[in-house]
Every structure is written in structure tokens, then in C-alpha cells.
């Protein structure tokens, strides 16, 4: 009898846990969202005595194994749930793309917390405006350009980031585009037209039956200004 | 005949490439530092047509395989050069520690560039002072505390982060401590005494014969205010 995967992540936000949820949902995997079932102390309880204590959620428990760090969780899960190639070279490339999405996620967070996670947004609003200007003008195009290039150079065609079938990296790119479009609707409205392959992949993921079902369910929380991607009107603009 | 590993990273700084260099040096691996040999355009040349183009250096070429993202490079190299366990569970745990060191490295960089990488330090000095305050007071202890906990909970003893022998994560923790001590000598002078296991591991790595030889060689560049860890007097303090 195989046990359900146990996901531990803050119960009130999409956050980094959402990248793992999308993979589990798309695969139709048996999993439990532990903090939602047992409260946010579930994560800390598991880590209190662990020999492999994660620095922060999300982490995933699979029997004896506990893995933390979003990209490492997906690296572990990918081949097990049919969302990554098993051949080392392509498995590593998928992971590398995921790590670059993780870098984008850090920067998207830094936009509203340039002075660090310890101060409220309201206390670093002016600095956030400056950081957002650079993020919109330079960083968003740089990342989107890279994703478009990866799709264009995929020898199996531009429908997927790696090979000819879906991987967790495709699902994560969908989520990154969703997050950016929520946080920066004006900027993404201008930019996304320049990245047709990224836009097409985003739309195709949204139409995958299990993903569409998940997005319409109450398991999918809404984006909010408690999460990583945050919409503050003053941080968005067309340029 | 096995070919030398080819490392591609900016020739003028330690930066993220240094975590890979320390592993290659400690293992006595045959490697070439390509940008130093052929100039900083070497990296861009390799990526110009690649089907797996890395977002940014460092990346490592091993025959047909090219891997980018520091932590992924070490994950790939580790078992091949005797610096990581081969068993999946411990290989993943070593990787997870490395990814957390990578998170610390991002924050150490954000200290001097809170408004983003596009502006000079001199143009974001005031914001850097605020971010440095929080980094010194909250983030440095949080990370050091976690490393100390990992060492304390290692069932094989506190001499190593994972198991009973050295791994690339040990070498990377050495480098992180070196970097923090260079950038924040006053703060680390106060803090490090609270983390005796981290301090002992740092010292033990420095005494490993090949590491000691490397550190004394001209292949080891000096820390500088062009790198990730930067010393600016106004960003350091005892608290």
C-alpha cells in the first residue's frame, strides 16, 4: 500500500507551495495538504526533532523521506509522478529551469520587500517603487526572454520547455506567468505579446483537464497581498 | 580518456563560481577555468546556440552535458568526484542544504543592492544600510542557527553537515562563513562564538590539504567589492 504524499506549507497562501500543488494536482497524485488539515503548526511539529530539518516550508514527506526546497521537492517528485524525464541529462535540465523560476520568484518577492522580509510593505513603499521600476523594465523581460529562448530551442518543439511532453517546469512557468499577470497586469499586458511561445504554453497548461479542475476548485486559493506575487497599484505600470 | 571538466564563470571574482571551484579543488579534479583561459566571452559563446542555455554563469561542461545553476552543478558533480553520498536520500539532503546556502547568498547580495542589480551601490547606499541592519540582526543569526542545528542533529556527529565524511556542502558552508566574515567582520566577530560547530567545520575545511593549497595559490582570487560578499564599512556593526 502506497501512502499519500504529505505537503507542508502555510495554509493561507499559494506561495511557493503552489508550484508543488500544481504538479501533484496535474498528476492526480494522492496527497494531503497537512497545514490545511491540521493547522500551521503541523510543519513546525514535523521539523522539531527531524534529522533533516528544512529551513522553511514547503517540504514534502514521502514515507521516511522528507524533502524541502521547492525545486528539490519537484526534482524528487517529477519522475515519480510522470512529470519529468528519467534520463539524468533531461532531469537536470528540467531542474535547472525550475531553479531559474525560483530565482524569478525571489526577485518578484524582493519587489515589495526590498529592505527585507522583516518590515511591512507600508514601511518600504518608496523603495519598493524604485525596485519595481527596475523589475518591470529590466528583469521581467530578461526572464521572459530566457523562457521564450528555451522554448524556441527545444529540439522537440516549442510546446514544452523540455522534450515533447509536459513536465513540472511547464506547470511552474504557468504559475509564474499567472503570478506576474496578477501582480503587474499593466506591464504583462504590454509584455506578453512579445513572448508568444510563453503565452501559448501558459494557455495550454490552464486547459489541461486536471489543472482546469483544480483552478476552479476551492483548493486553489486566490492570489493576495499576503503571498509572494502581490498586486499593489503603485508598483505596476505599462513600462 | 576522460576529459577535463570545463567551468565557465566571470574571470574577475570569486562569486558563485567559487562554490564549484572549491569542490573541484578539494577533489583534485581535472578542470579548466574557461573564462580565465579564454576571456569572459567564452561563456556567452558556449551558450549562443545551446539547446540548454543557462540563464547565467556559472555553468559546467562535462563532455556532452552542460549544467547551470550552482547548486545543480554541485549536485551533478558531487557523487562523481567523491563529495556527496550516492544514496538518493542523502544526496537530496546535501542538495537541500546547498540550496539553502544559495538563499543566503542571494540575501547577502541583496544587502548591498536592495533596489536591484541595475543601480550602483553608491546610488542605493541609504537603502543598503537599512537592509544591512535587518540582515545582521535577524537573517545572519537565522541562517547560522540553522546550520548549527543541522550539524547538531547529524546522527553521524557534528563534524560534517551530512554523514560522517566531507561533502561539497561542508566546503560551501566554509565559503559562506568566509564571505560573511569578509563582508561583516564586526558582526561575525560577535556572532560566530554562538555557533561553535559551524566555526569548527569552517576551520577544519580550511585545513584540508588541497583546500589549504588552493587558498594559498593565485587561483584563489581575493574577496572584493565587485563580488557577492562585499565589505562596506558603513554596512557592518557589532549588532
Count of domains forming chain B: 1
Rounded distance between C-alpha atoms, residue A115 and residue B138, angstroms: 12
Per-residue pLDDT, averaged over A100-117, amounts to 97
In this structure, are A10 and A97 located in the same domain? no
Q: With a cut of 60, say whether residue A1 has pLDDT above it.
A: no
- Chain A residues in contact with B139 (beta carbon < 8 A): 116
A80, A103, A137: which is the final residue of a domain?
Answer: A80
Of B51, B115, B131, the CB nearest to A134: B115
Sign of CA dihedral B103, B104, B105, B107: positive
In this structure, are A74 and A93 located in the same domain? no
| Residue A220 covered by a domain | no
Query: What are the beta bridge partners of residue A62?
Result: A65
So what's the pLDDT on residue B169? 98
In this structure, are A70 and A129 located in the same domain? no
Whole-number mean pLDDT of chain B? Answer: 97
Residue A149 gets the label, from left (phi > 0), alpha (psi -120 to 50) or beta, of alpha
Banded pLDDT at A117 (limits 50, 70, 90): very high
Per-residue pLDDT, averaged over A47-71, amounts to 95
Q: With a cut of 70, say whether residue A213 has pLDDT above it.
A: yes
- B33-68: per-residue pLDDT in tens? 999 999 999 999 999 989 999 999 999 999 999 999
- B204-222: per-residue pLDDT in tens? 999 999 999 999 999 999 9
In this structure, are A74 and A117 located in the same domain? no
- A178-203: per-residue pLDDT in tens? 999 999 999 999 999 999 999 999 99
A48, A80, A112: which is the final residue of a domain?
Answer: A80
Minimal CA separation from A89 to chain B, in Å: 7
Q: Mapping DSSP to helix (H, G, I), strand (E, B) and coil, where does residue A7 land?
A: strand
Q: Is A221:A12 a contact under the CB 8 Å cutoff? A: yes
So what's the pLDDT on residue A49? 86
Banded pLDDT at B12 (limits 50, 70, 90): very high
The end-to-end CA distance of chain B, in Å, is 54
| Residue B129 covered by a domain | yes
Q: What is the CATH number of the domain that holds A105?
A: 1.20.1050.10
Whole-number mean pLDDT of chain A? Answer: 97
So what's the pLDDT on residue B49? 86
In this structure, are A70 and A134 located in the same domain? no
In this structure, are A171 and A98 located in the same domain? yes
Per-residue pLDDT, averaged over B92-102, amounts to 98
Range of the domain at B154: 88-208
Contact between B55 and A106 using a beta-carbon 8 Å cutoff: no
Per-residue pLDDT, averaged over A14-37, amounts to 98
| Residue A126 covered by a domain | yes
Per-residue pLDDT, averaged over A71-81, amounts to 98
Contact between B69 and A99 using a beta-carbon 8 Å cutoff: yes
- Cα angle: A9, vertex A15, A166; to 5 degrees: 95
Contact between A131 and B115 using a beta-carbon 8 Å cutoff: yes
A&B contacts, CB < 8 Å: 112
So what's the pLDDT on residue A156? 97
Residue whose C-alpha cell reads 505596476 in the numeric block: A236
Q: Please state the pTM of the whole predicted model.
A: 0.98
Which three cell numbers mark A21?
500543488
| Residue B145 covered by a domain | yes
Q: Is the ipTM of this complex over 0.95?
A: yes
Contacting A with CB below 8 Å, chain B residues are 50-55, 64-65, 67-69, 71-72, 75-76, 89, 92-93, 95-96, 99-100, 103, 106, 110, 114-119, 127, 130-131, 134-135, 138-139, 143, 146, 149-150, 153-155
In this structure, are A115 and A155 located in the same domain? yes
Rounded distance between C-alpha atoms, residue A29 and residue A84, angstroms: 14
Sign of CA dihedral A32, A36, A37, A43: positive
- Chain B residues in contact with A54 (beta carbon < 8 A): 96
Contact between A116 and B135 using a beta-carbon 8 Å cutoff: yes
Amino acid at each position: 500500500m502506497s501512502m499519500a504524499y504529505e505537503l507542508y506549507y502555510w495554509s493561507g497562501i499559494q506561495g511557493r507551495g503552489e508550484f508543488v500543488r500544481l504538479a501533484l494536482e496535474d498528476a492526480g497524485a494522492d496527497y494531503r495538504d497537512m497545514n490545511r488539515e491540521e493547522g500551521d503548526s503541523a510543519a513546525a511539529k514535523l521539523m522539531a526533532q527531524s534529522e533533516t530539518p528544512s529551513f522553511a516550508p514547503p517540504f514534502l514527506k514521502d514515507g521516511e523521506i522528507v524533502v524541502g526546497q521547492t525545486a528539490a521537492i519537484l526534482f524528487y517528485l517529477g519522475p515519480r509522478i510522470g512529470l519529468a524525464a528519467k534520463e539524468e541529462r533531461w532531469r537536470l535540465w528540467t531542474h535547472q529551469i525550475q531553479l531559474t523560476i525560483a530565482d524569478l520568484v525571489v526577485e518578484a518577492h524582493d519587489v515589495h520587500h526590498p529592505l527585507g522580509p522583516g518590515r511591512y510593505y507600508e514601511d518600504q513603499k518608496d523603495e519598493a517603487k524604485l525596485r519595481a521600476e527596475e523589475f518591470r523594465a529590466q528583469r521581467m523581460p530578461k526572464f521572459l526572454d530566457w523562457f521564450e529562448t528555451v522554448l524556441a530551442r527545444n529540439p522537440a518543439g516549442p510546446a514544452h520547455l523540455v522534450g515533447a511532453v509536459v513536465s513540472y517546469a511547464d506547470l511552474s512557468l504557468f504559475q509564474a506567468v499567472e503570478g506576474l499577470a496578477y501582480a503587474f497586469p499593466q506591464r504583462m499586458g504590454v509584455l506578453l505579446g512579445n513572448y508568444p511561445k510563453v503565452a501559448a504554453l501558459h494557455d495550454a497548461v490552464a486547459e489541461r483537464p486536471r489543472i482546469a479542475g483544480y483552478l476552479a476548485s476551492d483548493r486553489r486559493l486566490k492570489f493576495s497581498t499576503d503571498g509572494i506575487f502581490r498586486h499593489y497599484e503603485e508598483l505596476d505600470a505599462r513600462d
